[in-house]
Structure formats: C-alpha cells, structure tokens
Structure 1
C-alpha cells in the first residue's frame, strides 16, 4: 500500500529525548517499510527513516528557540500533504485536530490516531462537528469522554522486538520513575512509595516550562529532602535499556486518565515489572500479577514492591512479546488501512468499529 504518515513537528522522528508520539510514528513507519509498504513520512528534516522523508521544518520545533507558535509550521506541513494527497491509498495523521477541515473531501482515505487525553471540554463540540472522520484510539478507556464518532479500531502501541533487551537479574536494583514531571504523573507519590519501601528511587524525567512551578514547589523539595532519591533528568533512547533493565520495578503512580502509557511497555520489554495505579489504560496494558501489579493507593504500591523484587521477570518479557510488539501494531493498522481503502472505493467491507476489536486481537 501507499501510505503517508504525518507526524507532529515538536520532535524529530524518532525523537532525541522525550517524545512518545514521535517515537510510535517512527516504530510504525519502519515496520510498515519492513513489511513491504511504500511509506512517505512528513516530519522534521533531521528525522531518520527508511521511508521517503518530506522535510517540513529544518529542526524540531521544541528544540528551536526562535519558534514561539507551532501552528504556522503545521499548517505549512498540511499544505504539502494536501498537494500530494492523491498519491496515497491512506493518509495517517498523528497531529491531533489541525488537519480536519483540510481532509473533508477525502476523509474516507484518512486515519487519525488520537494520542492524547480526550476528556477536555473543548474537544467534545469539535469531534461532534467532524463525526465522520475515521479515528483510532490507543486504549478503550481513552474513548470514554467522546461523543459519537467514527471509531474504526483500538490499536495498542508496540515497540520493535529487539529495541530493549531482557534483563534477567537487575543490579544493583532500585525503583524507577520515567517520563514527565507533572501533577498527573504524580512523581511525589513515587518518592513516598520508595521512601516507605526503603528502596532507592531513580527519576529520569523532563520538566516542561508549563510544569516548572510544580517542580519547584512540590517535587524539587522532596528530592532534596529524601536521600534515597536520585534525579537524573531527561534521558535518551539508548539510555533506557540500562535505566529500566536494572530497576526492580517501574513506578507508574498516575492520577489521570492515561491514554496508554508507553513507558509501561518499555519496562515490560526489559522484564521489569510495573507497579501502576488503577487509572486510565492501566488495566488494559498490565496483566495484574504477570507483567506487573495494579494498585489502588500508596499502601498497595508499597506492598507490591517486595512482590516485584521476587517476580519472574521472564513472564514480564513474554507478556510484552505476546501483546506489544511493533509488528503486531503495524499489522493491526494495515488491516484498518485496507478497510479504509476498500470503503473509499465503495467496496462494502464493514469497519470493525466496536471498542477492543484490534485491542482484543493483541491479547490473543
């Protein structure tokens, strides 16, 4: 198939540091090429891909201090996409909402994966106005706040099978927190859990400008107070294998409707069990007692630490291989692409649009 992948411009594909959406776009793009598809990637010029690259900005917008507003650059990218739209069987967007007015005439050949939270009040009237556009969720829980829309599948994220190696015996052993310093990620909970469990905690996380007050007022004082906490800062992709692989467990103490939680399957790929609060997508991603432990509160998380240290890490890795590889993710998307292409040719093949159609296949 001839497939266009349209990525956000905040980071390169793949990103140098933090950037979950761009990372997934990269894994999907490379796997589609490996499976024999003709793929074109619209992204920043420094992106690395085996697909055809259409450079839309010289460098990622987040790393360009001259950029104050990302919208003009995305609009210019969409103009490039529109000029080439007829070249593709399917155009797959990963940029939230800016493209919706543009694709009215060929919406049936498009797919939009919604990577973020959907419980914001301003989104409901928007998606109601574009209820015909084909959408994919990254978990079934993510769909909850949405009005009636054209869901064509739920596709869980996946990682290349050999991206992060399995670590059978972590050394020296510590608890890990990886991601963003923000109120909804609850790094303060991670610090308390580690302190009460008597375990060292290593925190590899970025601090966005929007979260600086939370960092300075809440988290930084806790890091300074607790001697067991080491704040590493933002880490690159090549550092994750050692960071996650040597952890006894990953703490995922979220306090928001997490759409997916890529870090959970990154830990699973290393064989590292996840201790996660029961919010958002967590029950869909973590098999309780197999790939990690789902808890309701801090007390439950502390109790799970000893269980995680004694857990069979090979079972965690096996759960990753069964459910969260990039080849499975790409196959699920290709099935949707083919249905979209058939529908656009007025071929009467129905969508599998109920929640969990593709998510359920990922379990089997």
Structure 2
C-alpha cells in the first residue's frame, strides 16, 4: 500500500537540532518502511529516509532565512496534492493548511494535530470534521469542538537512547528558552536545592533569555550549552539526575520528557497539559504545583527506579508502538472510506 507522509518544511526531516513535528514524521515514515510499506516522504531535499523522498526545496525556511516561509508551504503542500491519487492514504503532519485541499481530492487524509498554535485555527478543523480523520497526541490536547479517530502518543526509537543506570550529579533543563517552558523556574529549582543545572535548547525568546535567564548563568552552578544534536542530547539526558520540566502552558506532549525516561532519567514537571499522561507520579518522576514543590521532589529522587523509567517509556512511547497504533488508524480510515483513490497499490 502506498502512503504519503507530509512533513513540514521548516527544518530537515529528521531534524538536526530542533523540529518535533519533523521528528515524528520521520519516525512514522521509517517505521512504516521497516514494516514493508511503500512510503513517500514529502519534506525538504536534505531530508533522510529509507523510503522515497519528494521535495520542492533543498533546505527548510528556518535553516535558510532567505526563503519565504509561506511560498515554500504553498509549493510543498500543492506538490503532494497534485499527485494525491497515487496514494491510498495521506498522513498530514503539517497542521491545518493541507485540510483546505481535502475536499478536492479523493485520497483520505489522516491529520496528526501537534497542538493548537491558537484557538483561531480551530474553525478550519471544524469545517472538515465530517471528512477529516484527526489524531491527538494526548488526551489532554483535544478540542471539544472536534471529532477524533484516536489518540496516539508520540514515539521515539529506543535504540537511539542509551539507558544509564548511574547518573551524574546534575539536573537538566532541555527545551526552548521561552517563558512557556520555564527555563527560569528550572534555575530557581536548582538554586533552591544546591544542584548544578545544565541547560540546553534553542533561544526562542531573546528578551526573556537576556533578562531572566542569562544573568543567572555563571558557568558553574548554572551552565548553558546551547542547542544539542542527537549525540549530545542523549548524553545530557542519560547522565542527568533528573530532567526539570516546569512548564507554564498546557503542553500537548513534551518530547524531551519521553526521551529522558527512555534513558532511565526521571522527570520533575509542573502538573499541566499532558504531563499526567506522560509521567507516572512517584514512579517515573513527580508532578509538582510550583517551584517549591518541585525543589522538594528533588530530595525524593532516590525513590525512583531508573529501570522503571526506561520500561515505562518503552511500553508507552516507543516508535514501534506509535507506528502500530497509526496502522490501526489507517485501517479504520480505509474501512470507512467508500471511494478509494486510483493507482493506490
């Protein structure tokens, strides 16, 4: 069966540093190829896949700022839609824009909703409630105005995350430097507990970094290492005593949380969004109300068995489980579709 996986064109698929949507599109595409599916990945030209690759640009607009984002998006989406009848199903990871083509093609489209950038985009999803097949990445990230085919948690490749039984004595913040992610709160937690804190991630809010974070980076107790590639990421996550995830928004998933647990590293997070679905409280980490409670939980990390974190992550957030769950969605959608596209086998 031929399937098209539509990835964004902001970053390479899979990303070198940042790009969670691109990473999930890659994991699904590669997982399906491993199962023998005929997969075409629509992504940037510098993307990597064991399947077929279709592209309209060599690199993403975040990697080459001379390009116009909207122009690339239009060219990229239309490039797939103009050959939609070659596929049995389209898996859309490009938010709501591809839905506007769905009434013009016969190929059913599964859309993974990787969170809502704003409530203002929901009317587009509502318009296609009857014909779209929406998948949420957590139960907490569902709009009551939409109908869903399933919830499928993001999945990562366990082989890419080495298990570390004995960590080093530091806490880790791994994520965008932005008020939503609570970078300053992580520093406060570390200072309250007297722990070293390593911080890794792209600076998304320059003013926040300059005013709230940078003045507290002393290179000793608090150290900022910038964005981290896969090898450095895995080393940072695996050797950490705990990942601090003091978010200030209703996070749809939280990929670094699953990645940390895959390494055996427990997570201390603010109890918002999908965190209760990702973290087993007092089993794989702790759910805190505020920085003071999070700091108190640091003193209880000795009670967490790191091997249980790894087992938990593999059972719930492995790439293999995610792909199997999506195959069930595809089968359900195809059974519901009375008119299949031509030339799809």
Q: What TM-score range do you get, normalising by the shorter chain?
A: over 0.9
2:150 equivalent in structure 1? 153
- Could you list the runs of 5+ residues in structure 1 that have no partner in the other structure? 348-364
Contact 1:191 1:201 in 2 (8 A): yes
Contact 1:6 1:94 in 2 (8 A): yes
1:288 equivalent in structure 2? 281
C-alpha deviation, 1:147, in angstroms: 4.7
2:89 equivalent in structure 1? 90
* Match of residue 290, structure 2, among 285, 297, 302: 297
Number of residue equivalences: 339
Contact 2:81 2:105 in 1 (8 A): no
Following superposition of structure 1 onto structure 2, how do residues 7-26 of structure 1 map, counting pairs within 5 Å?
7-26=7-26
Contact 2:85 2:107 in 1 (8 A): no
1:4 equivalent in structure 2? 4
Following superposition of structure 1 onto structure 2, how do residues 236-251 of structure 1 map, counting pairs within 5 Å?
236-251=229-244
- Could you list the runs of 5+ residues in structure 2 that have no partner in the other structure? 341-345
C-alpha deviation, 1:185, in angstroms: 0.4
* Match of residue 215, structure 1, among 209, 217, 222: 209
C-alpha deviation, 1:228, in angstroms: 0.9
Matched, 1:205 2:201: yes
Deviations 1:62-116 (A, max 9, x none): 110312x311111111221112111111101111111122111447710111112
1:194 equivalent in structure 2? 190
Following superposition of structure 1 onto structure 2, how do residues 1-364 of structure 1 map, counting pairs within 5 Å?
1-67=1-67, 69-106=68-105, 109-117=108-116, 120-132=118-130, 133-143=132-142, 146-171=143-168, 173-208=169-204, 211-224=205-218, 227-345=220-338
For 1:150 and 1:38, the matched residues in 2 are separated by 28
Question: Which shifted more, 36-45 or 127-136?
Answer: 127-136
For 1:87 and 1:312, the matched residues in 2 are separated by 49
Question: Which shifted more, 238-247 or 275-284?
Answer: 238-247
For 1:15 and 1:161, the matched residues in 2 are separated by 17
For 2:144 and 2:279, the matched residues in 1 are separated by 27
Deviations 1:179-233 (A, max 9, x none): 100011011100000000110000001013xx11111121112224x84100000
Over the aligned positions, Cα root-mean-square deviation in angstroms equals 1.6
1:350 equivalent in structure 2? none
C-alpha deviation, 1:325, in angstroms: 0.5
For 1:193 and 1:107, the matched residues in 2 are separated by 53
Contact 1:138 1:260 in 2 (8 A): yes
For 2:212 and 2:106, the matched residues in 1 are separated by 45
Deviations 1:13-68 (A, max 9, x none): 1101011111111111111110111110000011111010002211121110312x
1:357 equivalent in structure 2? none
Q: Partner of 1:112: helix, strand, or coil?
A: strand
For 1:108 and 1:134, the matched residues in 2 are separated by 12
For 2:271 and 2:106, the matched residues in 1 are separated by 36
For 2:122 and 2:39, the matched residues in 1 are separated by 32
For 2:294 and 2:58, the matched residues in 1 are separated by 44
For 1:53 and 1:345, the matched residues in 2 are separated by 29
